[in-house]
Structure 1
């Protein structure tokens, strides 16, 4: 999709969808006045009509923005996404060859315009790579205005494209994206977007004594990869932000096997990895004056004679020992070694891990918001401000000492599974055991990384949750 700044007139357009944005109670003075008089302009109200103008029929979408004072960026992303979906539906049903969406009467501030465009690009997304018949889509979005929105368009395009990179990686089936191919994708993206990539294969992972990570990977014939991405935009500064993404390209549950219905979507268990990859693309392409290192412990959790088992005791890279109560609590094991590595080997000074970690996160907050576990309130404040810019909702969970007792092992230092109570908190605190004292944030995107329906700027399937929040975190830290 191309976003263009133009200055067309409605009457000059034919094979295009005309979108006219209206605040509640607003009418327009052009040749759509009579139609807009009857349109209330309530928020997210989109009405498609055929207007007969200058001897020809034109597809028109009247787009309600609601009360101006109640509008915010996230609401604009949602209405932008729904406008794109409406436009795709019109294109699908139309016999004419329609490729453009022309937007008129745009009376938004620059940041609001950026949010609307993000919503349109993300709402136009559909993962139909493996369908023989593709749906028609919008090729060009033309903003018809005399205001220069060039910078806002460029940023919206970058953030949306980076989010779509994450969506595509998650939506790919596990026979296409597995540790080796995920690593190859990252190498290609690093070359395209300008960040350095180093891939560690199994021998190097063994040399690093990442035994928790290797235990999870031990049951699969697809060998693990440890992916390191580096962007150093301010080499004189010793401050480095670390990003750690959970990279389970498929999770069967291991010997603690999942039921078939729960395994169907386990290609999505690398949503955290996809988020940090997308964020690194945006960070590097924007040439932020920051230092960021991201790592992914990529593997599959499978069953074989070599697979790790309930009752095993393993020694992590940090030398802390872990009692395995449940092989389906595997993500925290890979994160334990990855987060220890990025702190001690890459010398990051703040770290965020992001993971589709627990069903308990879905129980706690549903698909609306991401639960957060942290050891540093000031660091959380920066993340919270970033989430307000991205529109991706977060909520900080309590970390009372009583929760930490639940993950203490009886035969080892730690146990990899606690009780069902407070599950997303105890899982996060398990990862926190490998952080030492540096500022740390854990994001459990199990509920927010995938959408069960198409609505607003989200499409059924992967959402790319976390990409834009991590970008703004890096920008504002």
Structure 2
């Protein structure tokens, strides 16, 4: 779908979406269109329950004498209260409506009402961003899809002001990163495994990102025994990918991102139940988000030094697989008693986080992982879990998440929980003796390998995959965390 920008004017063809504020208040463009249609818009509203409330829609077949296919009235809520999320949702909903109706060309006309002050360029850019985000599809393996289920919208014009194109550029870069992440997370495990995911990361070189891939020999040489322990059950060898974007001041410490990349997780010897195991193709979502984020930062030429490390393994049961009760030595030198091979994400993050902080000395480090099912029990599918050793970093992350609609909820870390992973025969064990506070225990384990760097752990297990369409996210991979981290960088680390 091509997105164009134009000044506020009604199109001469295709479908048209108009904003209506609560109380059935038409904008100037809406009043003009109502007059041109002989009052059809007002009559349609009066004959329906449409009030102009947020997220409401009313579709009107264009009457004779108007060179349009249909007119969609979009509830914009109370005048003066529209924000970025509202315009994004509006853009996504309109794009979905145009596709559902079979339109090939459509226009969203954005203008204000008397007494309302709004930045039309920002509003138009957000609507375009929402439309682009909602337009995502992962259909590369479909060969028999019915024509009526395929998207039809080829061109969407946002009619507000031509200057919106410049404002939209940075958002388009973020959308590019989101689409990359969604593609990676959607791929099946037979296609996406450590080597091919590393190859996908290498494609970021075209965007100006420096990419280094560590193979199994290099990983072993570094002493990443925790990561190797997870990988040895699979015929697919592990990889660690290091990505650097140097857009900030020379010599300035980077902000670091670390991603869990278990390309398929059977649970290993502690094997998972068969029901739902197919979802474990997206146990690499943390790595997927980190890779997509680096694309977004590079394509919008972010003025920041950023480094990303993703640990890539496949967790499989076999004759060579790690056993419950095994003891491995991590890169930090700490020994780990592996009591459950299905608690593998924290093992690979132990080595990845230690490597990242030891090599790059970042000013802050954030890891993302689909780490625990317990976080889904605690928070469901609307919030990700936030754990941190630094209040300032935690507050910044929560604020960034709120501003983009990727909500976080902070949970505690404390000595009480930390003592529960003391091992009788090694330095630490990878699970506690009981199932209580499972997400906290996972975070507590990772914290032992961050070496007092300002750090945060985002447990995204509940928010990585959506079972239904939302305003700007189709059913499937969400790329949750990417927009949040991009906003964090823009607000607190870029150009500072």
Give the TM-score normalised by the residue count of structure 1: 0.94
Q: Using the TM superposition, give the Cα deviation of residue 77 of structure 1 relative to its aligned residue in structure 2, in angstroms.
A: 2.5
Please give the per-residue CA displacement for 1:197-245, whole angstroms capped at 9, x wherever unaligned: 0001110001011010011010110111111101111242432111001
Could you say which residue in structure 1 is the equivalent of 2:108? 103
The partner residue of 1:440 within 451, 455, 476 is 455
1:154 corresponds to 2:169? yes
Matched-pair contact (CA < 8 Å) for 2:180–2:292: yes
1:231 aligns with 2:245: yes
Query: Equivalent of 2:34, from 23, 32, 35?
Result: 32
In structure 1, the gaps of 5 or more residues are 92-97
1:174-185 pair list within 5 angstroms: 174-185=189-200
Matches within 5 A, 1:228-267: 228-267=242-281
Q: Aligned residue for 1:269?
A: 283
Whether the 8 Å CA contact 1:31–1:53 is kept in 2: the answer is no
- Cα separation, 1, equivalents of 2:330 and 2:122: 45
Cα drift, residue 10 of structure 1: 3.4
TM-score, normalised to structure 2, is: 0.91
Change (3 A) 1:147 1:285: closer
Alpha carbons of structure 1 residues 63 and 294: separation in structure 2 relative to 1, 3 Å: same
State the 4+ residue runs in structure 1 displaced beyond 4 angstroms.
Answer: none
Residue 468 of structure 2 is matched in structure 1 by: 453
Shift in CA distance, 387/4, structure 1 to aligned 2, threshold 3 Å? same
Counterpart of 1:94 in structure 2 is none
| Secondary structure of the corresponding residue to residue 68 of structure 1 | coil
1:337-388 C-alpha deviation (Å, 9 max, x unpaired)? 0000001022222100000000011111111011100000111222223213
Cα separation, 2, equivalents of 1:221 and 1:416: 24
CA distance in 2, matches of 1:48, 1:30: 18
Distance 1:148 1:292 in 2: 30
Deviates more, 1:222-231 or 1:280-289: 280-289
Instruction: Find the aligned partners of 2:108 and 2:200 in 1 and give their Cα distance.
Output: 35
2:180 match: secondary structure: helix
- The aligned counterpart of 1:128 is 139
Displacement of 1:152 in angstroms is: 2.3
* Matches of 1:390 and 1:142, distance apart in 2: 24
State the Cα RMSD in Å: 1.7
337 and 356 in structure 1: CA distance in 2 versus 1, 3 angstrom threshold: same
Deviation, 1:336, is 0.4
Equivalent-residue separation in structure 1 for 2:124 and 2:88 (angstroms): 9
After TM superposition, give the deviation of residue 70 of structure 1 in Å. 4.1
Provide, for residues 112-138 of structure 1, a one-character-per-residue CA deviation record: whole Å limited to 9, x for no partner. Answer: 433322221111112111111451242
Give, in whole Å, the separation in 2 of the partners of 1:342 and 1:150: 37
Q: CA deviation at 1:74?
A: 2.4
Alignment gaps of 5+ in structure 2: 113-117
Report if aligned partners of 2:324, 2:341 keep a CA contact under 8 Å in 1. yes
Give 1:47-86 correspondences, 5 Å limit. 47-54=58-65, 56=67, 58-86=69-97
Contact 1:124 1:137 in 2 (8 A): no
